Each structure stands twice: as C-alpha cells, then as structure tokens.
Amino acid sequence: MISIEGVRLERGGRTVLSGLDLTLAERRIGVVGANGSGKSSFARLVNGLLLPSAGRVTVDGLDTRREAKAVRRKVGFLFQNPDNQIVYPTVGEDLAFGLKGRGLAKPEIAERVAATLNRFGLEGFGDRLVHELSGGERQLVALAGVMILEPEWLVLDEPTTLLDRRNARAIMAAVAAMPQNVLLVTHDLTLLADFDRVLVFEAGRLATDAAPAAAIDAYLRIAG
C-alpha cells in the first residue's frame, strides 16, 4: 500500500503539487491530466525520485525520504523514452544491470536474464545492440529491465506516447499480464477502461478520484 499524507511538492521555487492525501492499494490505477498538471511529478513521488517538500510518502510503511533504496526495490519505474533508460550497449547487459547492483552471483544473473528475455518474447535478443532495435523493441527491453528486479509496484510514466498503436498494444498487453500493482500515467484514456481507479490531476491538485467511467467524464469536462 502506498500512502501519501499532506504532500506538497515544489520544484525550482514553484509549487507543482499540493494538498495530496490519499492511499493507493488497487491493482490498476490510472493517472491523467493535462501537460503540466503535476501527474508526472506525482508518479516520481511514489518511488522517491522526487521527495515531497512537505508531508510524507510511504510504501508499505517505508518512507521514501528515509528508505529510498528499499522503496525503489518495491516500486519499479518505466519512463516515456526508452532511449534514456537503457544504459548498457547490449540487451543482455542492460537486463543484468539492476541485478548486478543487488550483488547476485553471475550464474544466477544469467539465468534470470534468460528467463526474462523469454517472458517478454525477446528470445535471441541478449547480444543485440540496443541502438539497432526499433522503438517498440526498446520500450519492451526497458520494461523487461524494470521487471527483472521483481518489484511489487510498477509505475509507468506515459510509456506508450512515443510508440505506434501496435507497439503500444504490445507494451500494454505485457503490463496487463502482470500480477503487480500498476500505476499508469497516460494521455491515452482508452488504456484505462478496465482499471480499478483513475486519478485526474489539474493544476497541481487532485481534481477527481473515481472509477474509470466517472473520472474520464470529469477529465473530458476539464480538458474541454
């Protein structure tokens, strides 16, 4: 469970988010809002990439400020642009990156890399160069790089914005099959139809917090 208590967030002297009090426990949570509404900052608060200027954020009781490392183990994060997220030259090395940081032995790393490649339909991609992959393949590799660490939550910040419809569907299909709790920030309302809960942000505040149908209605009214 993620709990956000009395949170305000300032960036560069400007208030980006304020008056946030909520707990997240549903398996599928959507986050929508216009550009600059604060929804991406909200996503970053949840795994401690940003720390609140006031109030606190906890994940299963772990404070993002004091226990950043433990929080990041629980909460994986997929960014919009896979190009800036994949840090190693080949697919296999990149998947191994997070595992090495956890001090796993080499054979175990190799085993988990192979299993993860399989699970994401990336068999035979281990030695492929990242810069030779298509945009969709790269996003899939980035997702695999997050999931290989077996987080309990997955936060996705507009993961399909740079993809065509076919690749976007492939990513969302992979996400849908996950047992993990998912927090999805998106502009694409069609992705949220079968979600449990949708948060609508407007000008740094949580404007609506409801089931998808009601929340999307409210969002369309705001977006006009």
Specify the DSSP class assigned to residue 159: T
CA-based nearest residue to 163, from 81, 76, 40, 85 = 81
If the CB atoms of residues 109 and 130 are measured against other proteins, the closer one turns out to be 130
53 binds other proteins (CB under 8 A): yes
* Residue at token pair 């929508």: 32
Q: Where does this chain touch other proteins (CB under 8 A) — which range of 21-29, 31-39, 77-85, 112-120? A: 77-85
CA-based nearest residue to 7, from 28, 34, 36, 38 = 38
Q: Give the one residue of 37, 57, 79, 183 binding other proteins; rule: CB under 8 A.
A: 79
Residue window 124-163: x/- pattern of binding to other proteins, with contact defined by CB under 8 A: -----xxx-------------xx--x--------------
Pairing mode, strands 2-11 and 14-24: antiparallel
Residue window 4-23: x/- pattern of binding to other proteins, with contact defined by CB under 8 A: -------xx-----------
- 182 close to 29: Cβ distance less than 8 angstroms: yes
In a 13 Å sphere around the CA of 58, the CA atoms on its Cβ side amount to 10
Q: Give the one residue of 58, 85, 139, 160 binding other proteins; rule: CB under 8 A.
A: 85
CA-based nearest residue to 41, from 79, 1, 2, 9 = 9
Residues that bind other proteins (CB under 8 A): 11-12, 44, 47-51, 53, 68-69, 72, 76-77, 79, 81, 83-90, 93, 97-98, 101, 129-131, 145-146, 149
